[in-house]
Amino acid sequence: MKITLAAVVPRRSRTKSEPSDRLLADYLERTARYTPCDSQLFDTEGALLDWLTRQPGRSAAHAILLDSRGKQLSSEELAGTIGRLRDDGTQRLVMAIGPADGWSDAARQRADLLLSLGRITLPHQLARVVLAEQVYRAFTILAGHPYHSGH
């Protein structure tokens, strides 16, 4: 399974943040020990949805969209979800942070799962780091690695 952590951030809104960029790169590198993982930025929701449709594979990419109205999962539950997808043969998993105004109805309908990081609002840079850390944590849970101590 290949994982892409995506975010809709218009170019005019993108800012450089060396600390968050370093953290994101670190968690992507750590996750790559378990499965290929990368990060993509898109200018618009439409661009992300078009890209999602064009992903190669036996089946359509599995899309998990982060949305405040989505399902809240514990780290263990997220690990279980990712593990089931992997074990069921999902080739491509895309986890995406939406535009500042939220996902359109069409995007939410395309989603295989709407996932919430909680009721708090996070800037995109920080949400990307939190998501990357949770994906890494999921793989350590699945592997029985001591990184996740259950707290």
Residue 148 forms part of a structural domain: no
Residue 151 forms part of a structural domain: no
Residue 130 forms part of a structural domain: yes
Structure pTM?
0.93
Residue 72 forms part of a structural domain: yes
Number of domains observed in the structure of the chain: 1
89: closest CA among 119, 62, 63, 129? 62
Tens-place pLDDT, residues 13-64: 777 778 899 999 999 999 999 999 999 999 999 999 999 999 888 888 999 9
Can you give the pLDDT at residue 31? 98
Residue 63 forms part of a structural domain: yes
* Full residue range of the structural domain in which residue 45 is found: 2-143
Residue 149 forms part of a structural domain: no
CATH no. for residue 69? Answer: 3.40.1280.10
Tens-place pLDDT, residues 94-113: 999 999 899 999 999 999 99
DSSP 129: H
Residue 42 forms part of a structural domain: yes
Can you give the pLDDT at residue 59? 87
